[in-house]
Homo-oligomer: A and B are copies of this chain.
Amino acid sequence: MTQLATATTRSIVIERVMPHPPEKIWRALTQGHLMEEWLMKNDFQPVVGPKFNFRAEPMPGWNGVTDCEVLIVEPNERLSYRWDASGEEAANGLKTVVTWTLTPAKAGTLVRMEQSGFRAQDERFYQGAGFGWQKMIAALEKVAAGLD
């Protein structure tokens, strides 16, 4: 039995119907200054390929940086990026993928966020992200609500 054969990974999936059209949510998901309001400082560009960072306040044992790379950009529908540990933690740290899917719904837009790739040793990140994304997605909805 190879190591691969026993690797179990988990994902966090959060779905929320927001009373806004997909276009407004897409802007909040992909415009750097809006992303900073509900998520983190960043140098994101909505183009497939480039690497970018999210930057939070450093803490003891964490440089505050998340290494990312844009994987999918389908305007108003789907956005995906790598979300990996940075710096000294990069080698054995978190290697996940965040995918946003927007689907028109009766009451607005169904927003689905999936972060996949948590291994057994990523348990504390899995727990933390599960709570963190709920707050951030609620904040995302407020940012979208404030757009013209």
Interface residues of A (CB under 8 A from B): 1-2, 4-19, 106-108, 114, 116, 130, 134, 137-138
Contacts and interface: CB of A to CB of B under 8 A. Distances in A.
A108 B5 contact: yes
Q: Copy number in this complex?
A: 2
B137 A4 contact: no
A13 B10 contact: yes
Contacts of A134: 8, 10
A24 to B, nearest CB: 13
A61 to B, nearest CB: 25
B4 A114 contact: no
A13 B112 CA distance: 13
Nearest to A112: B11
A8 B112 CA distance: 10
Contacts of A17: 4-7
Contacts of A138: 8
Contacts of A5: 17-19, 107-108
A11 B4 contact: no
18 contacts: A1-B19, A2-B19, A2-B107, A5-B107, A5-B108, A6-B16, A6-B17, A7-B17, A8-B15, A8-B16, A8-B134, A9-B15, A10-B14, A10-B130, A10-B134, A11-B13, A11-B15, A13-B114
